[in-house]
Structure 1
């Protein structure tokens, strides 16, 4: 998979192991909605580890229109960045890559579940870089 994507397999594997073994990485599960039936149950992709890397910062070269197009009507403070790695081995049937449109359920240190929408992502030798939107429950 790495070679097809133009990635260095050794660097990519090292980045994967770094996230999986990082002391600050948290357990999570990913779910993928059915593109053909939005009312259908989401597919449980499996367990992963997520390492939050901070708030999303729009690139300085983005124009006001670029920012408006990207954020839409979502509060920019709800966007965070993270690295996500599937816990299954890459050669196994259970392995998957997170993708934009997935939902991420993160188990916090207090044992609560925080939901995120995977807004955008790209993969390079340093890992799968994701931009997530925190979903706050409305009471």
Structure 2
């Protein structure tokens, strides 16, 4: 028969055992406990980060302004289409020739892609990305 003392003793033992397990998991966690903790942290981070985008009419009114980004991309493309691009093309072209001569065909292919890519980078950007603010 259950008495008040036996119930109290059972609750104390269960509380003590759970506190010991919790303390051991914080002081010396196993690999599984660490993975579970990191998984829960990652899910919580994603849930908190994505919640503002999921709430309709949350009061954030921000306009996208890409003028600075477009100016930076335009400046980089201007350098790559000028003498710096020619320098990259010549250096990677020579690298492709030397790599092919020494039998490193993967490196030669990589250098060839860099040489051609420096020449046609603006048209590649125009093909795959929005370039209406980037001047030609």
Larger RCO: Structure 1 or Structure 2 (Cα < 8 Å, ≥ 6 residues apart)? 1
Larger radius of gyration: 2
Larger helix fraction of residues = 2
Question: Which structure: greater strand fraction?
Answer: 1
TM normalised by structure 2 equals 0.21
